[in-house]
């Protein structure tokens, strides 16, 4: 028992070079984030979809939208696609697509954007059809939500077009018998 303290070591990690903690954190984050994606057209469109979609559903949520059941559909589409687009943006931002190569990402994005375009167009039409100019105080909110719905529909349509171009490019560069990513 007398030799026990001499065998104990208190070192728990390898010494690191002296630098500021924020410097180490920033360098590790810079490696993980795909900076070329942020500057791309699909990323800019996704940011526009996220921001305009947020404004649209916030405008509808600020009204008594439960009085018209059609706005439940609009809110379902707006919030559901808003959350899904944020998830897809984060996946693309952190380069998860390069790590999960078994997924045909260009095809998945094209299908997602196409479905989102159709759903948002239907939600836009429903929103526009149920805007009541005699709704008093909430008319402006619902009319503005319709305008933002149109903007998001156009953004998803443009994303579908660019996703199609990306998918077609991936199809052309794939070897016969392989699934492009």
pLDDT of 126-148, one tens digit each? 999 988 877 677 778 889 999 99
Most confident of the ranges 35-44, 90-99, 111-120 = 111-120
Any idea which of 23-27, 151-155, 165-169 has the lowest mean pLDDT? 23-27
Across the chain, mean pLDDT equals 83
Q: Where are the alpha helices (DSSP H) in the chain?
A: 4-7, 21-32, 35-38, 41-61, 70-93, 96-99, 105-129, 139-173
In 3D, which of 146, 133, 136 has the Cα closest to residue 71?
146
Confidence of residue 16 (pLDDT cuts 50, 70, 90): low
Work out the average pLDDT over 70-88: 93
CB atoms inside a 10 Å sphere around CB 159:
26
**pLDDT on residue 144:** 92
More confident call, 167 vs 3: 167
Report whether 45 contacts 159 (CB < 8 A): yes
CB-count burial class (<10 Å; 0-12, 13-18, 19+) for 5:
exposed
**% of the chain residues with pLDDT over 90:** 48
- Would you say how long the chain is, in residues? 181
Structure tokens at 143: 């009319």
How far apart are the C-alpha atoms of 83 and 96, rounded to whole Å? 17
What's CA 43's distance to the chain center, in Å? 9
pLDDT tens figures, 86-115: 999 999 998 888 888 888 888 999 999 999
**pLDDT on residue 80:** 96
pTM equals: 0.75
Confidence of residue 30 (pLDDT cuts 50, 70, 90): very low
């Amino acid at each position: 028992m007398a030799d026990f303290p001499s065998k104990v070591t208190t070192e728990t990690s390898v010494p690191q070079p002296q630098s500021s903690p924020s410097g180490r954190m920033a360098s590790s984050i810079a490696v993980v984030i795909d900076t070329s994606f942020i500057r791309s057209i699909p990323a800019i469109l996704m940011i526009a979809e996220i921001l305009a979609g947020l404004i649209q559903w916030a405008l509808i949520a600020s009204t008594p939208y439960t009085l018209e059941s059609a706005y439940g559909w609009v809110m379902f589409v707006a919030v559901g696609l808003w959350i899904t687009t944020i998830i897809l943006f984060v996946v693309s931002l952190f380069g998860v697509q390069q790590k999960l190569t078994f997924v045909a990402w260009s095809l998945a994005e094209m299908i997602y954007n196409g479905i989102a375009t159709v759903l948002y167009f239907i939600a836009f039409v429903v929103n526009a059809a149920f805007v009541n100019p005699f709704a008093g105080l909430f008319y402006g909110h619902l009319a503005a939500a319709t305008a933002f719905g149109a903007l998001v529909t156009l953004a998803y349509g443009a994303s579908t077009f660019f996703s199609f171009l990306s998918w077609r490019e991936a199809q052309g560069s794939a070897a016969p018998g392989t699934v492009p990513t």
